[in-house]
Amino acid sequence: MTFSVVARSGSAVGVAVASKFLAAGAVVPAAEAEVGALATQAMANFAYRPQGLTLLRTGVAPADVVAGLTAADPGRADRQLGVVGCSGDGATYTGADCLDWAGGVAGPGYAIQGNILTGPEVVEAMESAWLGGAELPFAERLVATLAAGDAAGGDSRGRQSAALYIADRGAGYGGLSDTAYDLRVDDHPDPVTELARLLAGHEILFGTPDPATLLALTGTLATEVAALLTAVGHPTLDRWAGVENLEGRLVPGFIDPLVLEHLRTKAQ
């Protein structure tokens, strides 16, 4: 029912998944910072999520996690599973009774798998996208990998849902959680494209500014920003940014170009 990529980048671990299934993001992914990530699909086994993370937490390698979970499961022939840890290769498993086309590939820090696909070209396209996307930020790389599978044919039954889940120590909102991304498209005619749109919005709202691109709030720019703030009805930049959920992008004495562009758009 599903195609997914489970991967690691630096200290972050995560899963991107799409399916002709309602709310696949509620079923498939699990990840824990500094532990690992997994995807359970086909006839998904919810117990794989806590059990797999527990095994990873104790230092069990992904291939042994897969072996242990499936060996203890009488329904393993209908399961599909992908696992990555904090080091080494990922691991993937496809049960003998998963509906065609079903299969997966794994390598250093990734596992890609799918079932009821249009063909092996889906997994092949995803692996090529993952390996060729090393320059991308991790979240964008996962979604680009998912999009490559979707473009190659994806789920042979059609499209319905997609999700992105990434865990990284202290990378959540305000640095107070390890959930860096938790984006879900539960029911949509083009869910992977919609997931990419949500990711772009997430970056604006919750991303951190690039110090190299910050603009000094002096001279004509300071005058323009003051006028824009008046136009949107707020006395200070921090008050307006709080309303717009952009407070994480504020730097005293400077303005992030993304914040400036958003302010200009709102003032229009």
* Position 205 pLDDT exceeds 90: no
Strand (E) or helix (H) holding 215:
strand 215-216
* Position 15 pLDDT exceeds 90: yes
pLDDT at 208: 84
Task: Report d(CA 38, CA 40) in Å as an integer.
Answer: 7
pLDDT at 44: 96
Mean of pLDDT values over 68-76 = 97
Q: Which domains are assigned to the chain?
A: 2-206 (3.60.20.10), 211-267 (no CATH)
pLDDT digits (tens, 9 = 90+) for 90-118: 999 999 999 999 999 999 999 999 999 99
Q: Take residue 29 and report the two structure tokens written for it.
A: 């992914």
Confidence of residue 143 (pLDDT cuts 50, 70, 90): very high
Q: Which of 16, 73, 11 is nearest to 48 (CA)?
A: 73
Spell out the residues 6+ positions from residue 138 whose beta carbon is closer than 8 angstroms to its own.
7, 9, 10, 12, 14, 166
Show the beta-strand stretches assigned E in 10-115.
12-19, 29-32, 36-42, 79-85, 91-94, 103-107, 110-114
* Position 154 pLDDT exceeds 70: yes
Phi and psi of 222, rounded to 5°? Answer: -60, -40
Task: Report d(CA 205, CA 244) in Å as an integer.
Answer: 8
pLDDT at 125: 98
* Residue in the block written with tokens 């329904």: 75
Mean of pLDDT values over 19-41 = 97
Task: Report d(CA 252, CA 268) in Å as an integer.
Answer: 25
Confidence of residue 48 (pLDDT cuts 50, 70, 90): very high
Confidence of residue 134 (pLDDT cuts 50, 70, 90): very high
pLDDT at 1: 64
Q: Are 141 and 13 in contact (CB under 8 A)?
A: no
Centroid of chain to Cα 111: 14
Phi and psi of 73, rounded to 5°? Answer: -110, 110
First to last CA, the chain: 45
